[in-house]
Amino acid sequence: MELIRTIAEAHDLVEKIRLSGRLIGLVPTMGALHRGHLLLVDEIRDHVDVIIMSIFVNPLQFGPNEDFDRYPRTLDSDVELAETVGVDYIFCPDVSEMYAGNVKTRVVVADLPNHLCGLSRPGHFDGVTTVVTKLINILKPHIAIFGQKDMQQAIIIQKMVKDLSLDVKIMTLPTVREVDGLAMSSRNNFLSEADRHEAVKLFQSLNFAKQMIVTGERDLFLIVEGIKNFITTGNSAEIDYIGLVDTETLEDLTELKDGSSVLIALAVKFGKTRLIDNLTIKIPVFEHVV
């Protein structure tokens, strides 16, 4: 496996790969790899000939009061892990390489960022779409894969690729979880032991909400309150948001229609650590007995 640190090197590499008729798969990450990242590699492997993983902690997607500085950077162990799952190249440029000069351009998807995480992280998704566009331009993948753990991100990127006619296929992977259900995340290591114990309530609360919905509850307020109480009882967890939204537009639902789907997404802070999770639920159709 080889490390590629500059855009010029990457251009040379991908030109050679493409000329030889091989398909390139891209797995974009910010490093601090865990099993979720490695399963993205597993998922894309059968569809491509060469796998490039990018590891880049992208400053554009962090707000001024967010955790850019303390985000874990573990390149040496990431390289070892990536090698075990058959990554061929790691693209790991410095910030000065990716954003040389006085960068003035952003790729902005309209509307979709104005919901869920975008509300508490203004500019975050513009940073994501800008860096993903750059990665696609630099690495020219035939396929790129993203995790459903960051469902809003995956939806925004799919829309961007479609709207801009980018020549890349987007795959997604369902959320990879710890044995107790907590969604794997590079930020989980920041949790205290007590908070780690409580954090399992995020996924449990989503399943609790699912249970409410499949057994007939249709009152959005009661469902949100149910999730909130489930998560915050007995700890100092702070709810950032709980959203029941349309799976395509991400707009808040005003009602739960039988037979449609709802995306329940949430973000919760344990101390300084903000975790997200989501679940898509198909709303059952009830036979109305007259």
Residues making contact with ligand AMP (CB under 6 A): 29-30, 36-37, 40, 146-147, 149-150, 173, 175-176, 183-186
Segment (H or E) for 48? none
Spacing of C-alpha 12 from chain mean position: 29
Structure tokens at 217: 């509850």
Cβ closest to ligand AMP, residue 185 vs residue 205: 185
Instruction: Give me the least distance between CB of 55 and ligand AMP, in Å please.
Output: 8
Instruction: Give me the least distance between CB of 106 and ligand AMP, in Å please.
Output: 18
Cβ closest to ligand AMP, residue 88 vs residue 277: 277
Cβ closest to ligand AMP, residue 37 vs residue 201: 37
Instruction: Give me the least distance between CB of 27 and ligand AMP, in Å please.
Output: 7
Closest CA to 144 of 127, 126, 158: 158
Residue 37 falls in the annotated catalytic set: yes
Q: Which of 37, 115, 124, 142 is catalytic?
A: 37
SS3 at position 41: helix
Closest CA to 98 of 143, 152, 61, 144: 61
Instruction: Give me the least distance between CB of 32 and ligand AMP, in Å please.
Output: 7
Give me the sign of the Cα torsion angle 65, 234, 263, 150: positive
Cβ closest to ligand AMP, residue 29 vs residue 273: 29
CB-closest chain residue to ligand AMP: 147
Closest CA to 177 of 203, 207, 211, 210: 203
Enzyme catalytic residues: 37
